[in-house]
Amino acid sequence: MNQEELETIEIELLLEGIYRYYGFDFRNYAVSSIRRRIWHRIRAERLTSISGLQERVLHDARVMEQLLADFSINVTEMFRDPGFFLAFRQKVVPILRDYPFIRIWHAGCSTGQEVYSMAILLHEEGLFDRTRLYATDMNEHVLRRAKTGTFPLDKMQLYTKNYLAAGGTRAFSEYYTVKSDQAIFEPFLGDNIVFAQHNLATDRSFNEFHVIICRNVMIYFDETLQNRVHDLFYDSLCMSGFFGLGNREGVVCTSHANDYEEVDGLEKIYRKVR
């Protein structure tokens, strides 16, 4: 048996152990990514093997918490991939205007930047008052940060650029005030946002939505879990609802390839047609 197989076994045992003991299900995450994160934690804990980490993780909840933080890659920006928000503004918003009430699900919202971006966009388009944004993530820690609606100042220059590129119609500075090294966003933006813990790998649908946005989340999942999550989104999306993915993702390789039509192929915005 070579080293690689042994490693695979160790990873599987670790993930199984985490699932059985803590209830977090990472068993269907993309192996290459999870392997990197695991080794990252092993080095950080000054360990030498995955089995060693397993021992630590199962006996020390603090290490588990660290590993959990490692597993959830919270890379996000406001108006991340501005083209997506621009396309959303141009192609989706005109249709949403006809809806009396709009429910949007932001799955894997991380620290909430994109949810606030969407709130700003909808506010500028005059739709925010009749919208409810459901922002979910499996990591409660990042959700707590998201709820504060404050983002680090060092990113604000980038966010401003993104805002402009995403077709912002006003001044970005209208939405925040700076205190210390944090930009605090207008509290009204948080009024229609519901933050909740939700694990795509284990939890079920909780409402029917007009728009579901899940960007760069499923890239960490393997095919099985991707298909499960696609099923979940398909079931949660109302007919003619919109589905937004990260621009490296797509529905083509999933079992629902034929259930969506492209609204914007480049920015990966789809619409449920059957």
The reply to whether 220 sits near other proteins by the rule CB under 8 A is: yes
CB of 43 to other proteins, least distance (A): 4
The reply to whether 37 sits near other proteins by the rule CB under 8 A is: yes
Q: Which of 127, 194, 219, 238 binds other proteins (CB under 8 A)?
A: 219
Which strands form 182-185's sheet, in the order they lie side by side?
A: 150-152, 182-185, 176-179
The secondary structure of the chain as a DSSP string is --HHHHHHHHHHHHHHHHHHHH----TTB-HHHHHHHHHHHHHHTT-S-HHHHHHHHHH-HHHHHHHHHHHS-----TTSSHHHHHHIIIIIHHHHTT-SSEEEEEES-TTSHHHHHHHHHHHHTT-GGGEEEEEEES-HHHHHHHHHTEEEGGGHHHHHHHHHHTT--S-GGGGEEEETTEEEEPTHHHHTEEEEE--TTT----S-EEEEEE-SSGGGB-HHHHHHHHHHHHHHEEEEEEEEE-TT--STTSTTGGGEEEEETTTTEEEE--
Q: Which of 166, 216, 243, 268 binds other proteins (CB under 8 A)?
A: 216
Q: How far is C-alpha 86 from the geometric centre of its chain's CA atoms?
A: 19
CB of 242 to other proteins, least distance (A): 21
The reply to whether 70 sits near other proteins by the rule CB under 8 A is: yes
Stretch that binds other proteins, among 29-37, 88-96, 132-140, 259-267 (CB under 8 A): 29-37
Residue (of 33, 100, 111, 41) closest to 75 by Cα position: 111
The reply to whether 66 sits near other proteins by the rule CB under 8 A is: yes
CB of 40 to other proteins, least distance (A): 5
Give residues 111-170 in contact with other proteins (rule: CB under 8 A). 153-154, 156-157, 160, 164, 169-170
β-pairing, 150-152 with 102-107? unpaired
Q: Which of 65, 140, 174, 261 binds other proteins (CB under 8 A)?
A: 174
Q: Which of 3, 4, 46, 101 binds other proteins (CB under 8 A)?
A: 46
Q: Which single residue is written with the structure tokens 């990514």?
A: 33
CB of 101 to other proteins, least distance (A): 28
CB of 72 to other proteins, least distance (A): 10
The reply to whether 266 sits near other proteins by the rule CB under 8 A is: no
Q: Which is nearer to other proteins, 41 or 272 (CB)?
A: 41
Q: Which of 75, 100, 204, 239 binds other proteins (CB under 8 A)?
A: 75
Q: Which is nearer to other proteins, 113 or 209 (CB)?
A: 113
The reply to whether 172 sits near other proteins by the rule CB under 8 A is: yes
Pull the structure tokens for residue 52. Answer: 């060693």
Site for other proteins, rule CB under 8 A = 30, 32-33, 36-37, 39-41, 43-44, 46, 48, 66, 70, 73-75, 153-154, 156-157, 160, 164, 169-174, 176-178, 180-181, 183, 216, 218-220, 223, 246, 248-250, 252-253
